[in-house]
Amino acid sequence: MLSFFREYKFFAIFLFFLSAIIVTIIYNVLTPKKVLPVYQPTMVNFEMVDSTLQYQSKYHKIADFSLINQNGDTVTQKNYEDKIYVADFFFTTCQTICPIMTDHMAQIQKATLTDEDIMLLSYSVTPEIDDVDQLKRYAIEKGVIDEKWNLVTGDKKQIYELARKSYLAVKTDGNGDEYDMIHTENFMLIDKKRQIRGYYDGTQPEDIEKLLEDIKILKNEG
C-alpha cells in the first residue's frame, strides 16, 4: 500500500495544484469585475447641474480650461492628459469646511505620492483674493507638492462655469449674481478620458478611504 502512494505521490501533487488553478480561474471568471459609474448630468442632483445640461444623459466631459497655479504657471487640461485626478473647489480664507478638505486632499497626496498616474487639482472660488502669492503661501502651509497638486486661480467666470457645467459640483446662491456660488464639500474623481467617475464628501474620512479604493478600481480598468 505504501509503495502505491509513493508511486502516485507526484501525480497527486500535480492534480492538487491543477485543481487549485482551475478553481481560481473559474472564481475570477464568475466574480464580476468592479467598475465605477460614469456620471452624467441626469445622474446628479439637479440643483448641482446647470439648466442647460440637466437632461444630458451621455458624452459629458470636463471642459478645457486655462488657469494659473501657485507658482504663476499656466495650467490646462494638457497638464492632466492621461492622468487620473481628484478635483475640488475651495478658497484660502475659508474657516469652515475648507481646512478639513485641504487636509484630506493632503492625505490623498501622501497616499498616491509615488503614483505618477494620480494628480490633484483645487480651484479657488475667490480668485480676486487668491492671487498667486496667496496660493503660494497656502500651498507651503499645507504641504502641497507642486508636481502633484495644482491650486489654481484666474478668470472667475471660467472657474464658476467649470464648477457648474463640467464638474456638476456646486449650487448658485440665489443672490442674483450669476458668478457667486454656494460652496460644497465635493471631491470629484476624474478619469483619463475627462469623465466624472465619483463624488465624495471631502470632509468625511470614510469618503476619503472610499475614494482611495475607487482610484485602485479605476486604475485596474486599464
Do 26 and 51 sit in the same domain of this protein?
no
Do 46 and 27 sit in the same domain of this protein?
no
Is residue 205 assigned to a domain? yes
Query: Is 177 known to sit in a ligand binding site?
Result: no
Kindly tell me if the per-residue pLDDT of 68 is higher than 80.
Answer: yes
Is residue 46 assigned to a domain? yes
pLDDT for 124 equals 96
Separation between Cα atoms, residue 102 and residue 144, nearest integer Å: 10
Query: Is 104 known to sit in a ligand binding site?
Result: no
Helix residue ranges per DSSP H, the chain: 2-30, 98-111, 132-142, 156-161, 205-220
Do 108 and 18 sit in the same domain of this protein?
no
Can you tell me which residue has the cell 497638486? Answer: 149
Is residue 36 assigned to a domain? no
The CATH number of the domain holding residue 102 is 3.40.30.10
pTM: 0.84
Side-chain half-sphere exposure of 35, counting CA atoms within 13 A: 8
Do 116 and 157 sit in the same domain of this protein?
yes
Q: Which domain holds residue 64?
A: 41-220
Query: Is 18 known to sit in a ligand binding site?
Result: no
pLDDT for 28 equals 46
